[in-house]
Amino acid sequence: MTNAFTLKVADIVTDDPAVVRVLDQGFVTLIDFMPSGYPFGEPVEDATPGDLAVVAAARVSYGTVSKGVEADKKLVHYLIKHGHTSPLEMVEFKFLIKAPVLMWWQHVRHRIQEMNFQSGRYTAYPEDEYYLPTKLRLQDKVNKQASVLADFLSSEEEQTLLEELREHYRAGFALYQKMLQKGVAKEMARLALPGWALYHTAYVKMNAHALMNYLDKRLDPSAQYEIRAYAEAMERIFAQKLPWVHAAWEAKRSDRS
Protein backbone atom coordinates (compact mmCIF):
# COMPACT_ATOMS: atom_id res chain seq x y z
CA MET A 1 0.00 0.00 0.00
CA THR A 2 1.06 3.60 -0.64
CA ASN A 3 2.25 5.24 2.54
CA ALA A 4 -0.19 7.05 4.79
CA PHE A 5 0.90 10.50 3.74
CA THR A 6 0.56 9.98 0.02
CA LEU A 7 -2.51 7.76 -0.04
CA LYS A 8 -5.37 9.63 -1.69
CA VAL A 9 -9.01 8.74 -2.09
CA ALA A 10 -8.45 8.30 -5.83
CA ASP A 11 -5.91 5.52 -5.11
CA ILE A 12 -8.40 3.49 -3.15
CA VAL A 13 -9.71 0.31 -4.73
CA THR A 14 -13.42 0.72 -4.12
CA ASP A 15 -14.35 -2.95 -4.21
CA ASP A 16 -12.01 -3.71 -1.32
CA PRO A 17 -14.44 -4.20 1.58
CA ALA A 18 -11.79 -3.20 4.10
CA VAL A 19 -11.48 0.30 2.61
CA VAL A 20 -14.25 2.83 2.90
CA ARG A 21 -14.18 6.31 1.40
CA VAL A 22 -15.49 9.07 3.63
CA LEU A 23 -16.33 12.73 2.88
CA ASP A 24 -14.55 14.29 -0.09
CA GLN A 25 -10.99 13.13 0.55
CA GLY A 26 -11.05 10.87 3.57
CA PHE A 27 -11.09 7.16 4.16
CA VAL A 28 -11.12 4.42 6.76
CA THR A 29 -9.08 1.32 6.04
CA LEU A 30 -8.51 -1.74 8.13
CA ILE A 31 -4.74 -2.17 8.35
CA ASP A 32 -4.65 -5.03 10.79
CA PHE A 33 -6.99 -7.15 12.83
CA MET A 34 -6.60 -9.48 15.77
CA PRO A 35 -7.17 -12.45 15.80
CA SER A 36 -5.12 -13.33 12.74
CA GLY A 37 -6.79 -16.75 12.51
CA TYR A 38 -9.22 -19.13 14.18
CA PRO A 39 -8.61 -19.93 17.86
CA PHE A 40 -6.11 -22.82 18.04
CA GLY A 41 -6.08 -22.83 14.22
CA GLU A 42 -9.37 -24.75 14.03
CA PRO A 43 -11.77 -23.29 11.44
CA VAL A 44 -15.48 -23.47 12.17
CA GLU A 45 -17.87 -23.30 9.25
CA ASP A 46 -20.12 -20.19 9.14
CA ALA A 47 -18.07 -18.47 11.85
CA THR A 48 -15.48 -15.74 11.48
CA PRO A 49 -12.20 -15.90 13.42
CA GLY A 50 -13.14 -12.66 15.20
CA ASP A 51 -16.50 -13.89 16.48
CA LEU A 52 -14.89 -17.13 17.58
CA ALA A 53 -12.13 -15.28 19.45
CA VAL A 54 -14.89 -13.69 21.54
CA VAL A 55 -16.54 -17.08 22.07
CA ALA A 56 -13.22 -18.70 22.98
CA ALA A 57 -12.43 -16.00 25.55
CA ALA A 58 -15.88 -16.34 27.13
CA ARG A 59 -15.43 -20.11 27.41
CA VAL A 60 -11.89 -19.98 28.79
CA SER A 61 -12.97 -21.63 32.05
CA TYR A 62 -14.32 -24.63 30.12
CA GLY A 63 -11.30 -24.99 27.84
CA THR A 64 -13.54 -25.13 24.76
CA VAL A 65 -14.22 -22.91 21.78
CA SER A 66 -17.23 -23.66 19.58
CA LYS A 67 -20.30 -25.56 20.77
CA GLY A 68 -21.97 -25.17 17.38
CA VAL A 69 -22.99 -22.04 15.52
CA GLU A 70 -26.38 -21.58 17.21
CA ALA A 71 -25.01 -22.00 20.76
CA ASP A 72 -22.08 -19.71 19.95
CA LYS A 73 -24.32 -16.97 18.56
CA LYS A 74 -26.53 -17.24 21.63
CA LEU A 75 -23.50 -16.83 23.85
CA VAL A 76 -22.42 -13.69 21.97
CA HIS A 77 -25.91 -12.20 22.38
CA TYR A 78 -25.82 -13.04 26.09
CA LEU A 79 -22.45 -11.34 26.54
CA ILE A 80 -23.57 -8.15 24.86
CA LYS A 81 -27.01 -8.04 26.43
CA HIS A 82 -25.54 -8.40 29.93
CA GLY A 83 -22.52 -6.15 29.44
CA HIS A 84 -20.02 -9.01 29.85
CA THR A 85 -17.53 -7.05 27.81
CA SER A 86 -14.04 -8.42 28.55
CA PRO A 87 -14.21 -11.18 25.86
CA LEU A 88 -14.85 -8.37 23.34
CA GLU A 89 -11.55 -6.80 24.32
CA MET A 90 -9.72 -9.83 22.89
CA VAL A 91 -10.48 -8.53 19.38
CA GLU A 92 -8.61 -5.52 18.00
CA PHE A 93 -9.06 -3.32 14.94
CA LYS A 94 -6.18 -1.24 13.60
CA PHE A 95 -7.51 1.39 11.23
CA LEU A 96 -5.70 3.91 9.09
CA ILE A 97 -7.97 6.94 8.96
CA LYS A 98 -7.72 10.12 6.96
CA ALA A 99 -10.05 12.78 8.30
CA PRO A 100 -10.28 16.54 8.71
CA VAL A 101 -9.31 18.08 12.07
CA LEU A 102 -13.00 18.84 12.60
CA MET A 103 -13.54 15.08 12.99
CA TRP A 104 -10.33 14.39 14.94
CA TRP A 105 -11.20 17.06 17.48
CA GLN A 106 -14.15 14.92 18.54
CA HIS A 107 -12.55 11.55 17.89
CA VAL A 108 -9.68 12.09 20.34
CA ARG A 109 -12.14 12.53 23.21
CA HIS A 110 -12.42 8.73 23.24
CA ARG A 111 -9.78 7.66 25.73
CA ILE A 112 -9.97 3.90 25.21
CA GLN A 113 -8.00 3.68 21.98
CA GLU A 114 -4.42 4.02 20.76
CA MET A 115 -3.45 6.55 18.12
CA ASN A 116 -0.44 7.63 16.12
CA PHE A 117 -0.77 10.82 14.11
CA GLN A 118 0.90 12.25 11.06
CA SER A 119 3.08 15.16 12.17
CA GLY A 120 3.15 18.45 10.31
CA ARG A 121 6.55 19.12 11.91
CA TYR A 122 8.36 16.54 9.74
CA THR A 123 6.70 16.81 6.36
CA ALA A 124 5.02 19.76 4.69
CA TYR A 125 1.27 19.52 4.11
CA PRO A 126 0.24 18.90 0.52
CA GLU A 127 -1.98 21.31 -1.41
CA ASP A 128 -5.75 20.86 -1.59
CA GLU A 129 -6.01 18.48 1.35
CA TYR A 130 -8.94 20.28 2.89
CA TYR A 131 -12.46 19.20 3.56
CA LEU A 132 -14.87 21.11 1.38
CA PRO A 133 -18.48 20.13 2.08
CA THR A 134 -20.99 20.03 -0.72
CA LYS A 135 -23.78 21.45 1.44
CA LEU A 136 -23.88 24.04 4.22
CA ARG A 137 -26.10 23.08 7.16
CA LEU A 138 -28.31 25.46 9.12
CA GLN A 139 -27.64 26.16 12.82
CA ASP A 140 -30.18 24.19 14.91
CA LYS A 141 -32.28 26.57 17.00
CA VAL A 142 -33.21 24.01 19.67
CA ASN A 143 -30.07 21.91 20.14
CA LYS A 144 -27.33 24.52 20.36
CA GLN A 145 -24.67 21.97 19.29
CA ALA A 146 -26.48 20.67 16.26
CA SER A 147 -27.16 21.52 12.64
CA VAL A 148 -30.07 20.94 10.30
CA LEU A 149 -30.09 20.00 6.65
CA ALA A 150 -32.38 22.66 5.17
CA ASP A 151 -32.68 24.87 2.12
CA PHE A 152 -32.05 28.13 3.95
CA LEU A 153 -29.73 29.51 1.28
CA SER A 154 -30.42 29.88 -2.40
CA SER A 155 -28.25 27.59 -4.48
CA GLU A 156 -26.35 30.65 -5.74
CA GLU A 157 -25.69 31.92 -2.20
CA GLU A 158 -24.53 28.51 -1.08
CA GLN A 159 -22.17 28.10 -4.05
CA THR A 160 -20.72 31.57 -3.46
CA LEU A 161 -20.04 30.80 0.21
CA LEU A 162 -18.44 27.48 -0.69
CA GLU A 163 -16.28 29.16 -3.33
CA GLU A 164 -15.23 31.77 -0.75
CA LEU A 165 -14.34 28.96 1.63
CA ARG A 166 -12.21 27.35 -1.09
CA GLU A 167 -10.49 30.70 -1.70
CA HIS A 168 -9.84 31.00 2.04
CA TYR A 169 -8.15 27.57 1.98
CA ARG A 170 -6.06 28.58 -1.04
CA ALA A 171 -4.97 31.85 0.62
CA GLY A 172 -3.97 29.98 3.79
CA PHE A 173 -1.98 27.45 1.78
CA ALA A 174 -0.26 30.21 -0.24
CA LEU A 175 0.85 31.92 2.98
CA TYR A 176 2.03 28.55 4.34
CA GLN A 177 4.17 27.98 1.25
CA LYS A 178 5.54 31.52 1.37
CA MET A 179 6.61 31.03 4.98
CA LEU A 180 8.24 27.69 4.16
CA GLN A 181 10.11 29.26 1.24
CA LYS A 182 11.46 31.93 3.58
CA GLY A 183 12.76 29.24 5.90
CA VAL A 184 10.10 29.34 8.61
CA ALA A 185 9.91 25.99 10.44
CA LYS A 186 7.09 23.69 9.37
CA GLU A 187 5.85 23.60 12.95
CA MET A 188 5.25 27.37 12.79
CA ALA A 189 4.31 27.87 9.15
CA ARG A 190 1.33 25.57 9.66
CA LEU A 191 -0.31 28.35 11.69
CA ALA A 192 -1.31 29.76 8.31
CA LEU A 193 -3.35 26.67 7.35
CA PRO A 194 -7.12 26.52 7.81
CA GLY A 195 -6.92 24.08 10.71
CA TRP A 196 -10.43 22.70 11.09
CA ALA A 197 -10.61 21.65 7.45
CA LEU A 198 -7.12 20.18 7.15
CA TYR A 199 -6.94 16.43 6.52
CA HIS A 200 -4.76 14.40 8.84
CA THR A 201 -3.92 10.72 8.72
CA ALA A 202 -3.56 8.56 11.81
CA TYR A 203 -3.45 4.98 12.93
CA VAL A 204 -6.25 4.18 15.34
CA LYS A 205 -6.35 0.95 17.32
CA MET A 206 -9.48 -0.02 19.23
CA ASN A 207 -10.69 -3.22 20.76
CA ALA A 208 -14.23 -4.31 19.89
CA HIS A 209 -15.61 -3.16 23.25
CA ALA A 210 -14.21 0.37 22.82
CA LEU A 211 -15.32 0.42 19.18
CA MET A 212 -18.90 -0.45 20.13
CA ASN A 213 -18.92 2.35 22.69
CA TYR A 214 -17.52 4.70 20.04
CA LEU A 215 -20.21 3.67 17.55
CA ASP A 216 -22.99 3.98 20.14
CA LYS A 217 -22.02 7.61 20.59
CA ARG A 218 -20.92 8.59 17.13
CA LEU A 219 -23.67 6.93 15.10
CA ASP A 220 -26.27 8.68 17.18
CA PRO A 221 -28.22 11.32 15.22
CA SER A 222 -27.02 13.89 17.79
CA ALA A 223 -23.39 13.37 16.67
CA GLN A 224 -21.99 15.73 14.04
CA TYR A 225 -22.53 14.55 10.47
CA GLU A 226 -18.82 14.38 9.67
CA ILE A 227 -17.84 12.07 12.55
CA ARG A 228 -20.99 10.04 11.93
CA ALA A 229 -19.76 9.41 8.40
CA TYR A 230 -16.51 7.96 9.81
CA ALA A 231 -18.41 5.93 12.41
CA GLU A 232 -20.54 4.46 9.59
CA ALA A 233 -17.37 3.44 7.75
CA MET A 234 -15.95 1.80 10.87
CA GLU A 235 -19.25 0.06 11.46
CA ARG A 236 -19.13 -1.48 7.97
CA ILE A 237 -15.74 -2.99 8.74
CA PHE A 238 -16.92 -4.09 12.20
CA ALA A 239 -19.92 -5.88 10.63
CA GLN A 240 -17.66 -7.70 8.13
CA LYS A 241 -15.19 -8.90 10.72
CA LEU A 242 -17.57 -9.68 13.60
CA PRO A 243 -21.00 -10.40 12.11
CA TRP A 244 -22.37 -12.15 15.24
CA VAL A 245 -21.11 -9.47 17.60
CA HIS A 246 -22.42 -6.79 15.27
CA ALA A 247 -25.87 -8.41 15.14
CA ALA A 248 -26.00 -8.71 18.94
CA TRP A 249 -24.88 -5.10 19.36
CA GLU A 250 -27.56 -3.94 16.89
CA ALA A 251 -30.20 -5.92 18.76
CA LYS A 252 -29.17 -4.25 22.02
CA ARG A 253 -29.30 -0.83 20.38
CA SER A 254 -32.79 -1.41 18.99
CA ASP A 255 -33.97 -2.65 22.43
CA ARG A 256 -32.81 0.66 23.88
CA SER A 257 -34.57 2.81 21.29
Ligand X SMILES: Cc1cc2nc3c(=O)[nH]c(=O)nc-3n(C[C@H](O)[C@H](O)[C@H](O)COP(=O)(O)OP(=O)(O)OC[C@H]3O[C@@H](n4cnc5c(N)ncnc54)[C@H](O)[C@@H]3O)c2cc1C
List active site positions. Answer: 218
Task: Candidates 22-30, 67-75, 86-94, 209-217: pick the segment binding ligand X (CB under 6 A).
Answer: 209-217
Burial class (CB in 10 A: 0-12, 13-18, 19+), 94: middle
Cβ pair 98, 201 in contact under 8 A: yes
Smaller CB separation from ligand X, 190 or 218: 218
| Interatomic CA distance for residues 65 and 54, integer angstroms | 9
Q: How far apart are CA 7 and CA 27, in angstroms?
A: 10
Shortest reach from residue 216's CB to ligand X, in Å: 8
Measured distance CA(95)–CA(102) in Å, rounded: 18
182 binds ligand X (CB under 6 A): no
Segment interacting with ligand X, rule: CB under 6 A, options 34-42, 89-97, 105-113, 121-129 = 105-113
Q: For residue 95, give the nearest of 7, 186, 191 by alpha carbon.
A: 7
47 lies in the site for ligand X, by CB under 6 A: no
Among 55, 223, 231, 248, binds ligand X (CB under 6 A): 223
Q: Does 64 bind ligand X (CB under 6 A)?
A: no
Q: Alpha-carbon distance 15 to 163, whole Å?
A: 32
Interactions with ligand X, residue window 122-151 (CB under 6 A): none
60, 112, 124, 149: which one binds ligand X (CB under 6 A): 112
Size of the site for ligand X (CB under 6 A): 9
Is the distance from CB of 88 to CB of 63 less than 8 angstroms?
no
CB of 238 vs ligand X, minimal distance in Å:
15
Work out which of 132, 213, 225, 252 binds ligand X, going by CB under 6 A: 213
Residue nearest to ligand X (CB): 111
Choice from 111, 141, 144, 182 touching ligand X (CB under 6 A) = 111
Using only the alpha carbons of the chain, give its radius of gyration. 21
By CB under 6 A, which span of 49-57, 62-70, 217-225, 230-238 interacts with ligand X?
217-225
C-alpha distance from residue 149 to each of 137, 144, 161 (Å)? 5, 15, 16
210 touching ligand X, by CB under 6 A = yes
Q: How far apart are CA 230 and CA 215, in angstroms?
A: 10
**Contact with ligand X (CB under 6 A): which of 21, 59, 110, 186?**
110
Q: Parallel, antiparallel, or unpaired: how do β-strands 147-148 and 138-139 relate?
A: antiparallel
Q: Which residues bind ligand X (CB under 6 A)?
A: 109-112, 210, 213, 217, 222-223
